[in-house]
Amino acid sequence: MTAWTVRDSNGQLLADFAAASRLDVGRKLVPAHYDAFRLHVSSSYRELFDRALGQILARKGWEIVRTGRLRAVQRVSSARPT
């Protein structure tokens, strides 16, 4: 299964945000609760979410990226020095 995660401004993948879909990664980033079902069925609700997510990503210099597998993202993240 393909995974999605966040790449920070240094190019590092952030495994804490890894998920099965771009939308799930976004829901982890946005501090307010957004209902998953409403995000799929309501375009206006999705626009509000996309705006909030875009502001967070721009402020931190992050981007949501598609990666290989979810476990691979977790291994890469745990292998980097702290």
* Per-residue CA distances from 56 to 2, 14, 28, 51, 70 (Å): 24, 15, 11, 9, 23
Question: How do the pLDDT tens digits run along the chain, 82 residues long?
Answer: 789 999 999 999 999 999 999 999 999 999 999 999 999 999 999 999 999 999 999 999 999 999 986 565 555 555 555 4
At residue 15, what are phi and psi to the nearest 5 degrees?
Answer: -65, -25
pLDDT of residue 72: 54
Q: Under a CB-based contact definition with an 8 Å cutoff, are residues 17 and 29 in contact?
A: yes
**pTM for this structure?**
0.79
Strand duo 13-19 + 2-7: pairing: antiparallel
- What three-state secondary structure class fits 35? coil
